[in-house]
Amino acid sequence: MNMRAPPTDLPIMFADAGIVAGAVAILDGITLTISAGSPTVLIGPNGSGKTTLLRAGMGLIPVSRGRITWGGREAAPPAHRAILFQRPVMLRRSAAGNIRYALASAGVPRAERPRRIAELTALVGLNGLERRPARRLSGGEQQRLALARALARDPAVLFLDEPTASLDPAATKAIEDLVHAIAARGVKVVMSTHDLGQARRLAGEIVLLHRGRLIERGSAADFFNAARTEEARKFIAGELLV
């Protein structure tokens, strides 16, 4: 599989980026640079803006103020970005049909698609389930299929929105192993999670959000061992941020 990070989309830079819905600021003055390297994990309570930040980084939501650039460009089609939503929707096709559709959308030549489908189903551990209707797969299998579909785009940056939120421990481990494998291949992973244990296991860098604002950012080791802000220390201690 040819997963590499072309220089085109990285770094992703948020410059005083804000997103407003009605009178509510979903994201407020976010300044953040996402560069190549180990996974960046967004943490924070519900409503802190994690999902919105991921969608904005993917280019699905325009900013209300400030700007976002991808490799220095303000308008960059998501040719080298992919996202796994918290509740991915399976197209009404077989498992292989879902991957085939993503490959076709990414412009992969028809002749190459069978080989890529075989590679991707093997990577996410769905061998033997290629012909099953995607909507009949279990929750964990659907999540892995959605991951394969995202990887079909051969992304340089992969956004994962709480990819294990509704999964049991075994399915969670399968996804985490995949995240490790994907990151090891040079794909920049940017993910959100509520699970601090998962953040410790996966993150190279942590970004803490609260009420749409960036509270603290740093390497995972620094964040968990020497948090600089009161909010971060409370969050790590399991106290409620309100």
Residue with Cβ nearer another protein (47 or 78)? 78
How long is the chain?
A: 242
Separation CA 121–CA 125 (nearest Å) = 6
Whether the bond between 11 and the residue before it is cis, its omega within 30 degrees of 0, is yes
The H helix count followed by the E strand count for the chain is 8, 9
Q: Minimal distance in Å, beta carbon 59 to another protein?
A: 9
Q: Minimal distance in Å, beta carbon 84 to another protein?
A: 9
Residue with Cβ nearer another protein (65 or 136)? 136
Nearest in space to 151 (alpha carbons), one of 82, 89, 86, 59: 82
Residues 12-31 contacting another protein, CB under 8 A: none
Count of positions on this chain that bind another protein (CB under 8 A)? 25
106 touches another protein (CB under 8 A)? yes
90 touches another protein (CB under 8 A)? yes
**Tokens found for residue 91:** 């197209």
Residue with Cβ nearer another protein (149 or 210)? 149
Strands (E), the chain: 12-21, 24-34, 40-43, 65-70, 81-84, 157-161, 188-192, 205-210, 213-219
223 touches another protein (CB under 8 A)? no
First to last CA, the chain: 44
77 touches another protein (CB under 8 A)? yes
Residue with Cβ nearer another protein (57 or 220)? 57
Residue type, 231: E
Tell me, residue by residue from 118 to 137, as one string, x for binding to another protein by CB under 8 A and - for no binding: ---------------xxxx-
89 touches another protein (CB under 8 A)? yes
- DSSP letter assigned to residue 2: -
Residue with Cβ nearer another protein (134 or 227)? 134
Residue with Cβ nearer another protein (87 or 228)? 87
Residue listed under structure tokens 């090891």? 184
Query: Is 14:31 a contact under the CB 8 Å cutoff?
Result: yes
Q: Which stretch binds another protein (CB under 8 A): 1-9, 100-108, 178-186, 197-205?
A: 100-108
Q: Enumerate binding residues for another protein (CB under 8 A).
A: 58, 60, 77-79, 82-83, 85, 88-93, 101-102, 105-106, 133-136, 149-150, 153
